[in-house]
Structure 1
């Protein structure tokens, strides 16, 4: 199950993107504002992937898609522990498995259990179509734009604070739905990512302290519980199963009695316990 740290990071990133879309929708008129309004926050809904051998679908931590597009344009994964090593593989699967409709994959790698176990890093991949001479169709490639770039060190220091993740409004949907839409920029800055990490760690530490201090809630007695109709139904089912088991045992016992015992047939038997031959 996702940890509180993991969830706080996801919600922080979700807030940044939804605020951007809301601002564009309210500030821009015409097709640009309408386009921004039509971008949906699909959260962790399943994404069906084609040509993927190990998994046919994935449930990302966060995704944004145009309401008329079958696939998300931007996917965000917040990884921890061993998952961090799989971010590049996941990015390839999203991009290749959607035929390039997923244009951007952002991966944040967190230390999860211990804040000082490793740096906080972010990576980003973009859909790229590579043309080669003599080949009609281009090759679809998940191109790394940024790989494991630290924004918070093991000791909590902010680093690379002049860097940012750069995406555009046109990254949220396939090109066929982006006609006449300007590539309005969205920057997720490293100072903002460091703020996210600090907030997530503080929330986790407060939660751990509160859990240690918890004494069971308000002193109370447990009220007697009246069996519900479903409970009574289960009880009836159990009685029926026991009755059936008893009938099977009786039939087995009767069948066994119809055959001679091993001793009467001349079969060897084990000596009684405690007696030596």
Structure 2
């Protein structure tokens, strides 16, 4: 059978199934969530263990089409188009798929189009599944042919009265996984005989008309010239190896040991065979930067003596002149691009000037950084005009880095932060969400970025005492309590989910406290909501894994008054801080009558409770100064509890925590210290920590 008919027919069948899965994904039930995890994988290689052989020996198969659940090792549905010799061994092939996968493959579909058989256009279908059969020697897992050579097209090419291909949604994953995720909410996925005939007929017509189809006409007198090939005598061993493998080629070609032309996103070899062209995830190479090393322009840029020169076009930045080549074309952006509204070419944070400058070399570093920043923003604006920008993970990564740079370069004396990239960040994330659910275990890069964004929102929301720019209509799914997984990394996945659950709880609390849109006549509703959030925070504390407990808690040492609290992992420490901050917010903004201005010299019982939670946060941060996220938590939560600190010793400790954070991690805190001292009635200083 010509490859064209085979591939075009498979494409039609696969597209029909994919379209039905897309329709199911639009719902909000369990079936929709399940369908969102099912993806077509066409001829992706499958490796099965060989019975009786070593663990390293595996059999390899490449089906014509397959559908995989993201949490399954093997595809649930496999489709093979049978022709010529393949028809005779399709039954054996189905046994291999079903039994070697231990019934993880749920169904194998065989489509026999009898291509080339003169005088007949008949096409048939066969379906195989597994069944446990009781015998005298015990239960046996066998393969049964559910549908045997059932015609879906007759000899004349017309569709038959047969019902066609009938699958169930649960077929797309192994039994336990399907039962756990959809239960009884099973749905039908089918292709009628009429549709099958249409796909097959269209494929045959396309191939038969190939000679009469249009093509580009080269003008008269134009000669075609191909590049000259390397003479055989000049080919060395490395060149010979490159014929079959490519270091930078796609993973599909490398696995098949064929040469790849490295064309992205679809290389020529994969496009010709209609295979999925898979590439390694992009990565960033960080050069060795040693601040205490030589101050030459090379070391200032982060290079080392034994490092090969990097590509000059990486950023096209070499000092201040590096951005001179950016012309006015970069200013043009789409007016209808909501994402771009958060960015402008003038968003470069002003460099922080303090007493730690090192003369010309320091100025040169700042100029180089600013130039790189401006060039990056220019490239970012170009990308934002693309239609697929909301699904570009590389772009999301760039915005994360730019937002972090924006925070580090906030003027330390004033704390001025325009939040330019945070705004654009929000627009991209909102436009890229295809459903109303977010996984707290962050299994994908996009979801990991979402949780970074939530934490960055909390920082600005607390300082400015405004609702965080987060879509609270999203739902966490699955919740940490629902996660049951035997994967070796399941424990890490579960802990990530519990940590992000606390992050989400805190975001909901902050939104409740700073959202002033609640009608005045809804006091009872607001109190109920407050109680729900209080219970939510308490439930997290009671149900979270024991690994989140501190491994050491002790009294303050020396002259300090903050307790010493140690944890085994950074995310435990950060979750501990978020838990106590949630209490601070709920205590501070509990609905009810209160005075607009408080007398901090006579603290109330609530104020003392707030300070006890604040001491816990400061104690954990002071005990683990290397845990930067918790130090950042201290920086923004202090705007809620800072004015309540009356003890001079505790005030000095708070200032020391902030000073050390800027000194060792370059996070701007001088302006926070000055704001605190102003609240305390203490003279301020504009100098940054040395």
Select which of 119, 123, 128 maps to 2:126: 123
Secondary structure of 1:68's aligned partner: coil
Matching residue of 2:204: 201
Matching residue of 2:28: 29
CA distance in 2, matches of 1:149, 1:72: 24
CA distance in 1, matches of 2:164, 2:116: 26
* Structure 1 residues 232 and 118, CA gap change in structure 2 (3 angstroms): closer
Matching residue of 2:186: 183
Secondary structure of 1:4's aligned partner: helix
CA contact (8 A) 1:52 1:93 kept: no
CA contact (8 A) 1:6 1:112 kept: no
Matching residue of 2:154: 153
Matching residue of 1:132: 135
Q: Which protein is bigger by CA-based radius of gyration?
A: 2
- The CA deviation string for residues 49-84 of structure 1, in whole angstroms up to 9 with x for no partner, is 23469x811100000111010001000001211211
CA contact (8 A) 1:46 1:58 kept: yes
- CA displacement at 1:233 relative to structure 2: 9.6
* Structure 1 residues 233 and 94, CA gap change in structure 2 (3 angstroms): same
* Structure 1 residues 224 and 134, CA gap change in structure 2 (3 angstroms): closer
Please provide the CA RMSD for this pair: 2.9
- The CA deviation string for residues 178-213 of structure 1, in whole angstroms up to 9 with x for no partner, is 125122111221111111221121112111444xx9
CA contact (8 A) 2:152 2:164 kept: no
CA contact (8 A) 2:122 2:153 kept: yes
Matching residue of 2:567: none
Confirm or deny that 1:77 pairs with 2:80: yes
- CA displacement at 1:158 relative to structure 2: 2.6
Bigger mean CA deviation after superposition, 172-181 or 102-111: 172-181
Confirm or deny that 1:221 pairs with 2:220: no
- Flag structure 1 segments of 5+ consecutive residues without an equivalent: 239-277
CA distance in 2, matches of 1:50, 1:225: 45
* Structure 1 residues 146 and 226, CA gap change in structure 2 (3 angstroms): closer
Give matches, 1:91-130, under 5 Å. 91-113=94-116, 116-117=119-120, 119-130=122-133
CA distance in 2, matches of 1:169, 1:144: 20
CA distance in 2, matches of 1:90, 1:237: 42
How high is the TM-score relative to the length of structure 2?
A: 0.31
CA distance in 2, matches of 1:217, 1:115: 36
Bigger mean CA deviation after superposition, 66-75 or 144-153: 144-153
Matching residue of 2:507: none
* Structure 1 residues 196 and 225, CA gap change in structure 2 (3 angstroms): closer
CA contact (8 A) 2:121 2:153 kept: no
- Flag structure 2 segments of 5+ consecutive residues without an equivalent: 53-57, 238-690
- CA displacement at 1:234 relative to structure 2: 5.8
Secondary structure of 1:43's aligned partner: coil
CA distance in 2, matches of 1:153, 1:206: 23
- CA displacement at 1:237 relative to structure 2: 4.9
Structure with the bigger percentage of helix = 2
* Structure 1 residues 49 and 2, CA gap change in structure 2 (3 angstroms): farther
Secondary structure of 1:89's aligned partner: helix
- The CA deviation string for residues 15-70 of structure 1, in whole angstroms up to 9 with x for no partner, is 111111111110x21432111000121111111123469x8111000001110100
More relative contact order, 1 or 2 (CA 8 Å, 6+ apart) = 1
Please identify runs of 4+ aligned residues in structure 1 that moved more than 6 A: none
Matching residue of 1:18: 18
Secondary structure of 2:155's aligned partner: coil
* Structure 1 residues 208 and 121, CA gap change in structure 2 (3 angstroms): farther
Confirm or deny that 1:63 pairs with 2:66: yes
